[in-house]
Structure 1
Amino acid sequence: MISLYKKLQQEREFVISNQILRSGTSIGANIEEALAGQSKRDFTAKMSISSKEARETKYWLRLLKESEITSIGVDSLILNIDELIRILTSIVKTSQQNLTKS
């Protein structure tokens, strides 16, 4: 995401690049917070935020691709974010189920 941000900045695309940087880096930051969570509920909440940020990042990547405001290819990033969304969704669902069992 940071590399894409830098490329977009070089092309003088500032709005979407800032959005992608913000949401894309928030994914990892919230995962790190989840891993240091004070409770199972805290872990689940932070992972849920990561999942939402991943979905937002996918939105910005799709918008970037479909708007054709740049020639930078983002297809592989969209595939990667799709996989990450699936992983995070699975983690959140499992964590929520474990919360109800406790």
Structure 2
Amino acid sequence: MDDLRGRTKRLALNVIRFVGQLPGSMEGRIIGRQVLRSATSVGAHYRECRHSRSRAEFRSKLGLALQELEETLYWLELLKESKVSAGPGLEALMNECDELIAILIACIKTTKQSGKA
């Protein structure tokens, strides 16, 4: 789980750097703010879940992190498909979101299958 703490923080830092390089167009600024907000929330929600008082609270907070990851991926897809931004940096961010989404889904499923609250 400590690896996830580092990965979610790295994702936020990489998005911060990426957004700083977006064009200053209205689209770049608006979508940039959205992706920045959602990507930086992922790690915050993950950190909160680490101090949950129950498995149900843990799943709930992981679910919030998952929602923010899905939103981050959505904004990144819009940047790519609208051609506001492209390139290997964007692809790397999208791949990392995909990987983190798969990990969080597996974590949530595991806690559900454990049969505990």
Which TM-score applies when normalising by structure 2? 0.78
Q: Measured at CA, do residues 71 and 94 of structure 1 come closer, stay the same or move farther in structure 2, by a change above 3 Å? A: closer
Partner of 1:81: 97
Q: Distance in 2 between matches of 1:20 and 1:72?
A: 17
Q: What amino acid is aligned across from residue 76 of structure 1 in structure 2?
A: A
1:3 aligns with 2:17: yes
RMSD after superposition: 1.3
Structure 2 segments unaligned to the other structure (5+ residues):
1-14
Q: What letter corresponds to residue 95 of structure 1 in structure 2?
A: T
Does 2:109 correspond to 1:93?
yes
Q: CA deviation at 1:97?
A: 2.2
CA distance in 2, matches of 1:72, 1:41: 40
Question: Identity of paired residues, percent?
Answer: 37
What SS class does the counterpart of residue 14 from structure 1 fall into? helix
What is the alpha-carbon distance in structure 1 between the residues aligned to residue 18 and residue 87 of structure 2?
8
Q: Deviations over 1:71-92 (max 9, x none)?
A: 4541111111110100011011
Residues 1-102 of structure 1 aligned to structure 2 (within 5 Å): 1-8=15-22, 11-12=23-24, 13-71=28-86, 73=88, 74-98=90-114, 101-102=115-116
> Which residue identity lines up with residue 103 of structure 2 in the other structure?
I
| CA distance in structure 2 between the partners assigned to 1:89 and 1:43 by the alignment | 13
1:63 CA displacement: 0.6
Partners of 1:46 and 1:15 in 2: CA distance: 27
SS of residue paired to 1:85 = helix
Residues 10-30 of structure 1: per-residue CA shift (max 9 Å, x gap): x21211000101110111000
Using the TM superposition, name which of 16-25 and 68-77 deviates more. 68-77
